[in-house]
Amino acid sequence: MKQLVEYLARSLVDCPEAVKVSERSGDFGTIVELKVDEKDVGRIIGRQGKTVKAIRQLLAAAAAKSKLKVTLAVQE
């Protein structure tokens, strides 16, 4: 899951070297934390959150195939 989010994020931002992705276990499944440069947060979120929703849907589909529950958190 981590590699999928990292690939998608690096493809969208202007500073791909600033993208950092980490995974941690939470109470309700795995939490994937995405950190990007301050000026690239808008690119990840998109207009009205459409881009981040699409990333979350792709992540959920990949996780469902493995019977996992994964949540995406975007941070600056």
Q: Domain residues of the chain, as ranges?
A: 2-75
Q: How many Cβ atoms sit within 10 Å of the Cβ of residue 70?
A: 22
To which H or E segment does residue 30 belong?
strand 29-35
β-pairing verdict for 20-26 and 29-35: antiparallel
State residue 69's pLDDT score. Answer: 93
Q: If pLDDT is split at 50, 70 and 90, which confidence band does 26 have?
A: confident
State residue 9's pLDDT score. Answer: 96
State residue 42's pLDDT score. Answer: 94
Domain 2-75 fold is: GMP Synthetase; Chain A, domain 3 (3.30.300)
